Structure 1
Amino acid sequence: MKTLNLSGKFLSLLSLFLLSSFYRKNEVSMVTLLQEMGDRKSVAEFPQPVFKLKQESSYNRVSVTPEDVKTWFANADFNSAPAHHNFVRIDTINGSKEWVLMEHNSPGAIVRTWMPFPNDKNPNTDNIIKVYIDGDTVPTIQGNMLEVFNGDGIIPYPFAHKSLRSAVSFFPITYSKSCKVTTTKRPYFYQITYREYADNVKVKSFTIEDFRANKELITETGNILLGNNIDNSFNEANTVESKDKLLPAGEKESISLERPLSSLNTLQLKLKEEAFSDSMLTRNVFIRISFDGKETVNSPIGDFFGCGIGLNPYGDFYREVTEDYRFISRWVMPFKEKVEVSVENRTDSDIDVQLKISCSDYNWTDNTMYFHSSYRHDDEVPTRPYSDWNYITLKGKGVYVGDALTVFNPVKKWWGEGDEKIWVDNESFPSLYGTGTEDYYGYSWGGISTDFYEHPFHGQPQCNVYNKLNRKLKENERNTQGYSTETRVRSLDGIVFNESLKFDMEVWSWTDCVMKYSVGTSWYMLHD
């Protein structure tokens, strides 16, 4: 990874961040969204101006209501033949057909795209994607459907990248009035996630000229996304507290700190190698955090840090698990008066733990939210009849920011055809309806894509017998038996809710069997 020069460039970028809150209140643009993306504090503030996150995808259009079980779990969420119409419509432009994937007629910003390979062995396509902004008849962005969003085209890595058999991009494409996305051939699978702003919000539309003029900011933001450095995290903090002790079975150890108007910025738990002789260690050691006297985090470390069962090293923008047994969180967690961080040993053995936290000053506002994290375990999840398995249901006002799913599959065949269905503020149909569990987590062709991968916003820390320490060598091997862990964290694609949020994941395996499901979820919420 490239290391930033922390003299001139860092101070310049810091100045941009200090100005970003002002700009966000007055105008949304590619620049302000890049500043927001590179600032971990941004997710702790209820967004101003507020937006609604929406998604266009190739979900099966016969799915209309959960009351109709037969159609609700229909699995033809693609377009491989003329009979399939899982897109908006077909336009004729200058005598040629264009398939409309998305059409949005309000101010907004595309914040995530996902496009899979045409099949599990073919990474190539001749389908051309076009992005029309504000009614212009000439596309602002045009190119190969995969290359535009996989880092080989105009959008650089890590914003756009090659996932497992997919092209995924998180680069913000803003528009002041409208956006239409089309392809020159029938689209296979796709997902386009976007922010919708109110009509009175001023949004500066994306242009290629602005993109080129802000090359330095784009590079700096990309380096921030990739440049987690635990030493700097602690050195730059105003207050660092730590504990190192043998923790008896059944007991917990805590760090309590009274520090008004602050935030917990880094949390590190270090264990010893011998503790991992217990294969379920990451299921039975818990992180618990209270802010201002109220516990908002209570989760096994495997779910909270996103590594699943056992030591599965990986890293994203907010979390990291290392080969030397460190579990690190970089979620910014504000509090008004005090914080208490605890490690609880629910195993049958004593374990050595090292707990370390860093805190710094925080400018608390009316929009500042408390961090929350929870989990759900279910050891008997039948795959027949088809069903929706609830990740989390929330009441209140906040922003949903991430999850880590761990499943145990008793058979070799693929288990993850199920789609995410996310209802916001009691809507009658989910504003985010997906095309497959692996698609939600940023890859595709799940039955064969069993290797490790990581990215600042999503990853697969383990699948079958593979992880970062044991990479897959036989590319065509198909075996998803055993534990798999999929992670996704959110920045610009955080899900804002004003009243409620309900997140279901469809259970859809090719085999009639009983699986195990476990999920860790994270969100920020305003408190009275």
Structure 2
Amino acid sequence: MIDRDKQSRYPKIDFRLKQESSYNRVSVSIKDSITWFENHDFNSNDKDKNFIRIEENKNQKEWVLMDHKGPGAIVRTWMPFLNAKKPDTDIQIKIYLDGNDQPILEGNMLTLLNGDGFFPYPFAHKSLRSAVSFFPIPYSKSCKITTTKRPFFYQFTYREYPEGTNIKTFSKDEFNSAKKLINNVGEKLLKPTNFSDGQSINLNTTLSASTEKTIELPKGETAIKNLSLKLGSYQNDEIMRTTIIKIKFDGKETVWCPIGDFFGSGIGLNPYQNWHNTVAQDGTLTCRWVMPYQTSASISIENLSKTPINIELNTVVDDYTWNEQSMYFNAAWRGQYPVSTRPFSDWNFVKLKGRGVYIGDALTIMNPVEKWWGEGDEKIWIDGEDFPSIFGTGTEDYYGYSWGGISTDFYEHPFHAQPRSNVYNKLNRKGSNTERNTKGFSTEVRTRVLDVMPFSSSLNFDMEIWSWSDCDMGYGASVMWYGGSNTTSNRSPNNKEALNVPKIENTTTK
């Protein structure tokens, strides 16, 4: 979970990430434009059957939410409050491993997996109106998850290992014996440190309008271990979109991204911290992904705007042993404005071809209306699947919270964050707030460790455009992955769109 070097290498055991969720089961084919975008992703009654089945166990009904046969490991769980304003439930959840008729874990569906129960914070935590856990639960033969009452929304993300993989099944005894390790890892996740032992290369300069500067990094088999950037001024929010970072490794440009999107800040300076990035109050932007290369590398900063900007760039490089599993770091961006919300559609984050591992993304949207914008589900196809093995239940669910229309607070966690959510408040006649809405800019971040997505031939990531209003939105998504020298994407530099920064005051509802 905290081995940064290991993330830059393709997994020795070639697992695939899968997900069980309460997505609407009427969505069976992308060819059916009506059912494909159905939004009823929960269980309001047993006829919905957005779960696997109902079975009897010792005269008690249990709703089966996951039933995976083979070796695997649960690496992320997400469940929301049943009522947006009441963080409680009487639903019990049970996790059965390796065919045992007694659950290895059971308890309240929320508190077992929100940091108040068995798994400690920050591995499990209370998000905005959700319970989220990243604590790994491995199993050698099978995993079944049930609830004692009809479930609401849910997501269980797990690794599926090749048949015959030797996995040690989770046990409470082993959990208790590992508490010192668990505490140490938890402390590091909450207080990530910047790598500083290697060679530091700096660039302090002024970038004139429509110019760029480049620094060459040391030759040889090495890796960027820390990258920090600071601009002279952040008074203009658009500077985070119109300043571009580019990185070449071994002669090939694999990074092209607006800096706000690259560091997860979005439009403007929006401080937050997670395991991989820090956006500090003083404007220092830090990235801790390991970025290896074999012979050469360079970093360029380009100013697309008409205003000069001062930049301070610092990168720390150190030795790295390249082997057949090593991969290059990639980051790309797609922006579009306007994006019509009608008819409903899938908006592609990225399509990748070749071998690699998907590791994270940041989404910045401009919502011109008060109503909620993020009902859309993520749909992720791996290696040419006929149906996405990851089919979500809502955009905010993918980013680790719920009830998005009212969950407009700042939120950060080692692997999820909402650094920015402009909140327009309705006022009553006395000037008091009566309702929050999501008009304005919002930025959502998700980076991955145990829930990375390996692919051997392809990955396709779509997010539904699903707003409650017929309007024109603005979308911008940065995506990050590790890939081989022959791995390609459908993303390319787009200066025109980076300069096309949507303005909330100029928008109207259709």
Indicate the residue corresponding to 1:182 in structure 2: 146
Structure 2 counterpart of 1:256, from 216, 234, 237 = 216
Q: Residue 44 in 1 paired to residue 20 in 2?
A: no
Q: Residue 319 in 1 paired to residue 277 in 2?
A: yes
Distance in 2 of aligned mates of 1:375 and 1:206: 39
Structure 1 counterpart of 2:187, from 215, 218, 223 = 223
Displacement of 1:129:
0.6
Indicate the residue corresponding to 1:3 in structure 2: none
Displacement of 1:465:
4.2
Does the aligned pair in 2 maintain the 1:448–1:476 contact within 8 Å? no
Does the aligned pair in 2 maintain the 1:394–1:502 contact within 8 Å? yes
Structure 2 counterpart of 1:69, from 33, 45, 49 = 33
SS at match of 2:34: helix
Structure 1 counterpart of 2:462, from 504, 513, 520 = 504
Distance in 2 of aligned mates of 1:391 and 1:105: 31
Structure 2 counterpart of 1:369, from 327, 331, 334 = 327
Displacement of 1:277:
2.6
Give percent identity, aligned residues only. 54
CA offset digits 1:448-493 (Å, max 9, x no partner): 0000000010110001149xxxxxxx99732100100001000011
**1:87-102 pair list within 5 angstroms:** 87-102=51-66
Check 1:138–1:475 CA distance in 2 against 1; reply closer, same or farther (3 A cut): farther
Displacement of 1:316:
1.1
Does the aligned pair in 2 maintain the 1:164–1:453 contact within 8 Å? yes
Does the aligned pair in 2 maintain the 1:263–1:362 contact within 8 Å? yes
Indicate the residue corresponding to 1:23 in structure 2: none
SS at match of 1:203: coil
**1:90-489 pair list within 5 angstroms:** 90-230=54-194, 233-234=195-196, 236-237=197-198, 239-272=199-232, 275-465=233-423, 477-489=435-447
Indicate the residue corresponding to 2:44 in structure 1: 80
CA offset digits 1:84-121 (Å, max 9, x no partner): 21001011000000000100001000000000001110
Distance in 1 of aligned mates of 2:147 and 2:416: 26
Indicate the residue corresponding to 2:499 in structure 1: none
SS at match of 2:214: strand
Distance in 2 of aligned mates of 1:250 and 1:514: 29
Distance in 1 of aligned mates of 2:476 and 2:366: 9
Distance in 2 of aligned mates of 1:124 and 1:437: 23
Distance in 1 of aligned mates of 2:353 and 2:235: 40
Displacement of 1:276:
2.1
Query: Match of 2:444, as an amino acid?
Result: E
Does the aligned pair in 2 maintain the 1:247–1:350 contact within 8 Å? yes
Displacement of 1:279:
2.4
Displacement of 1:229:
2.6
Displacement of 1:82:
2.7
Normalising by structure 1, we get a TM-score of 0.89
Displacement of 1:83:
2.1
Q: For structure 1, which runs of at least 5 residues remain unmatched after alignment? A: 1-36, 467-473
Query: Match of 1:253, as an amino acid?
Result: K
Distance in 1 of aligned mates of 2:283 and 2:140: 47
Distance in 1 of aligned mates of 2:405 and 2:291: 37
Does the aligned pair in 1 maintain the 2:207–2:310 contact within 8 Å? yes
Displacement of 1:156:
0.5
Distance in 1 of aligned mates of 2:433 and 2:179: 36
CA offset digits 1:56-83 (Å, max 9, x no partner): 0000000000101110000111012232
Does the aligned pair in 1 maintain the 2:208–2:307 contact within 8 Å? yes
Query: Match of 2:223, as an amino acid?
Result: S
Query: Match of 1:93, as an amino acid?
Result: N
Normalising by structure 2, we get a TM-score of 0.93
CA offset digits 1:109-165 (Å, max 9, x no partner): 000000000111010001111100000011001111001110000101111000000
CA offset digits 1:223-243 (Å, max 9, x no partner): 12111233xx22x22x11111
CA RMSD in angstroms, aligned pairs only:
1.2
SS at match of 2:260: helix
SS at match of 1:217: helix
Query: Match of 2:91, as an amino acid?
Result: N
Deviates more, 1:349-358 or 1:77-86: 77-86
Query: Match of 2:228, as an amino acid?
Result: Q
**4+ runs of 1 displaced by more than 3 Å?**
474-477
Indicate the residue corresponding to 2:508 in structure 1: none
Does the aligned pair in 2 maintain the 1:106–1:176 contact within 8 Å? yes
Q: Residue 495 in 1 paired to residue 459 in 2?
A: no
Does the aligned pair in 1 maintain the 2:234–2:283 contact within 8 Å? no
Distance in 2 of aligned mates of 1:389 and 1:133: 37
Displacement of 1:271:
1.4
Query: Match of 2:107, as an amino acid?
Result: G
Does the aligned pair in 1 maintain the 2:237–2:269 contact within 8 Å? no
SS at match of 1:258: coil
Displacement of 1:502:
0.5
Number of equivalent positions: 479
SS at match of 1:277: coil
CA offset digits 1:394-425 (Å, max 9, x no partner): 11100000000000000010000000000111
Q: For structure 2, which runs of at least 5 residues remain unmatched after alignment? A: 425-431, 487-510
Does the aligned pair in 1 maintain the 2:158–2:451 contact within 8 Å? yes
Indicate the residue corresponding to 1:513 in structure 2: 471
Distance in 2 of aligned mates of 1:138 and 1:475: 50
Displacement of 1:438:
0.2
Displacement of 1:38:
1.3
SS at match of 1:438: helix
